Structure 1
Amino acid sequence: MSRLFLRKDEVRASYRVSSWQSVLFSEFEAQMSSDARPFPCIFGVAGYRQDQLRYLFLDPLDTDALGKQLALFVSESRSHGPNTSLVLFTRPRPVQTLDAYYKKFWRILDQLARIDKQPWPAHIPQTIDDPMWEFSFAGEPIFVVCSTPAHVMRQSRRSSAFMLTFQPRWVFEKILGTDRAAAKAFGEVRKRLAPFDTTTASPLLGRYGDPEGREYKQYFLYDDNEPPPACPFHRLAQTKLPSVEDKEQAA
């Protein structure tokens, strides 16, 4: 299988300055490297600075292609470093509503679950409404973050195009292995969120496994702190839905 995801220098060498890939990546780099306005996700910033992140550009957004690249990334992720993630960039298109992006996001995860060639991890519940549930692919539990151009107040979840970040669960386990380490990390994230967003930190953010928390609610955060729409799935890959069509009207 041909590897399509790239390191920082490979991105710069692969795309001309005026391309959409270069424009989006420059925006991302400015966000990750700013000292004056530090990005809240300290794990992502560390991964960027240590060149442990990998970057995938898809146009159109094809779930089969994404699945193949995600499986390849998972298979070699531990060799990239302790703060690795796969960052998916898609071509900018007309901006839609947050509700539309929310539905698109969950359709993509559902389609990935359908094409996954590995069994769901035995220790991860398949029912989404469970504190121990986590999206999994190629046998690996993965925390997923969705960023969109429709986010305004929550700038920590804003990008100029629909963007997904796939962060293996083991990354957090290494960093947040103790209560003290977790408290310190979450405290730093919340301290950075306060000046970064123009809304308060989401009450949905919390530690994995908290009996009162749900991981799926953290994947896609709305601008306000109102309860999010109900997840459209009780369990992924159970209800047949139309494929995501990445056309001009679908951002």
Structure 2
Amino acid sequence: MTTKIIYSRVEIDSAFDATTWQKKIFNELATNFRSRSRLFPCTFGVAGFEADQLRFAFSENMDPGEVSAALKCYLKDAKSFGKNTSLLVLSRPGPIQSLEHYRARFWSTLDGIHQTDDTEWPETIPAQIDSAGWEWCFGGEQIFVVCNTPAHVNRQSRRFSSFMLTFQPRWVFNGILDTRETAEKATSKIRSRILQYDLINPSQDLGLYGDPDNREFAQYFLDDENRAATCPFHSFTKKNQNEEEKVA
């Protein structure tokens, strides 16, 4: 019998008992998406959840190998799930650590996932992280990554009871962020909701992919006090374990 790796919203209801950690944190996530008194900022995520286009995976300790397997499984059929699809990987809740702990854990996990990727980095994507055209890739796909942690307080839109990663293929933004006009229309509602949802002003690191001054890596893990973003790697290569200098 094959063990299931990723789940739809509907499948989770029957796959996990109400007493399991998986079902408990999923219920918390569902409450966030469905709240009508406190509107979740990402309208695309809400639409994807209600249409059952999102997919979910569970990794007790966010093991890079397990996340890699879930991501491979997801990307294989992702385009059939719908235009608002993303993969959300949830870990088991534990003692709350510092924000810096989660920042380091995020980049270490992302690098660990990259180390398992048997597909070459796309030739059209710069290797250097500190560039306008850079984006994290896996399986030959450009992927926007979002990290949520229990340590976020001011930035409630990036808070969750456990360490959580969201993977959004770049193609989900086709037709939405293609031009500045369509991008501003799509993001204005989200930014308006962020102002109501968070206890801090929107990060200055939020921007549009490809803009000369935009850096995608800065949006993956947002600080809780609007400080400048950092990343421990200059590029994602198979030798990252020897590259510990931070991006200037």
Answer yes or no: is 1:187 the counterpart of 2:188. yes
Higher relative contact order (CA 8 A, sep 6+): 1
Amino acid at match of 1:36: S
1:60 deviates by 3.4
Moved more, 77-86 or 52-61: 52-61
Q: Is the 8 A contact 2:132 2:215 kept in 1?
A: yes
Q: Tell me how far apart the structure 2 counterparts of residues 47 and 92 of structure 1 sit (CA, whole Å).
A: 24
Q: Note the residue ranges of structure 2 that are not aligned, 5 or more in a row.
A: 243-248
Per-residue CA shift, 1:89-118, capped at 9, x if unaligned? 000011111101000100111111111011
1:117 match: secondary structure: coil
Q: Given the superposition, is the C-alpha separation of residues 118 and 149 from structure 1 closer, same or farther in structure 2, using an over 3 Å criterion?
A: same
Per-residue CA shift, 1:170-203, capped at 9, x if unaligned? 0112322232221111111110001100000001
Q: Is the 8 A contact 2:64 2:110 kept in 1?
A: no
Q: Is the 8 A contact 2:62 2:90 kept in 1?
A: no
Q: Tell me how far apart the structure 2 counterparts of residues 153 and 61 of structure 1 sit (CA, whole Å).
A: 24
Q: Tell me how far apart the structure 2 counterparts of residues 72 and 6 of structure 1 sit (CA, whole Å).
A: 11
Per-residue CA shift, 1:200-237, capped at 9, x if unaligned? 00010011111111000000001111213x31000113
Q: Tell me how far apart the structure 1 counterparts of residues 175 and 140 of structure 2 sit (CA, whole Å).
A: 18
Q: Is the 8 A contact 1:3 1:72 kept in 2?
A: no
Instruction: Name the structure 2 match of 1:17.
Output: 18
Q: Tell me how far apart the structure 1 counterparts of residues 214 and 27 of structure 2 sit (CA, whole Å).
A: 35
Instruction: Name the structure 2 match of 1:247.
Output: none
Q: Tell me how far apart the structure 1 counterparts of residues 199 and 146 of structure 2 sit (CA, whole Å).
A: 19
1:41 deviates by 0.9
Map 1:147-226 onto structure 2 (within 5 A): 147-226=148-227
Amino acid at match of 1:128: I
Moved more, 138-147 or 33-42: 33-42
Q: Is the 8 A contact 1:82 1:174 kept in 2?
A: no
Instruction: Name the structure 2 match of 1:240.
Output: 241
Answer yes or no: is 1:109 the counterpart of 2:110. yes
1:174 match: secondary structure: coil
Per-residue CA shift, 1:121-146, capped at 9, x if unaligned? 11111111011110000010000000
1:213 match: secondary structure: coil
Amino acid at match of 1:155: Q
Identical residues among aligned pairs (%): 44
Amino acid at match of 1:232: P
Q: Is the 8 A contact 1:109 1:236 kept in 2?
A: no
Q: Tell me how far apart the structure 2 counterparts of residues 191 and 60 of structure 1 sit (CA, whole Å).
A: 34
Amino acid at match of 1:233: F
Answer yes or no: is 1:33 the counterpart of 2:29. no
Q: Tell me how far apart the structure 2 counterparts of residues 178 and 108 of structure 1 sit (CA, whole Å).
A: 32
2:241 match: secondary structure: coil
**4+ residue runs of structure 1 moved beyond 4 angstroms?**
none
2:143 match: secondary structure: strand
Amino acid at match of 1:146: C
1:2 deviates by 5.0
Instruction: Name the structure 1 match of 2:245.
Output: none
Q: Note the residue ranges of structure 1 that are not aligned, 5 or more in a row.
A: 242-251
**Superposition RMSD on alpha carbons, in Å?**
1.3
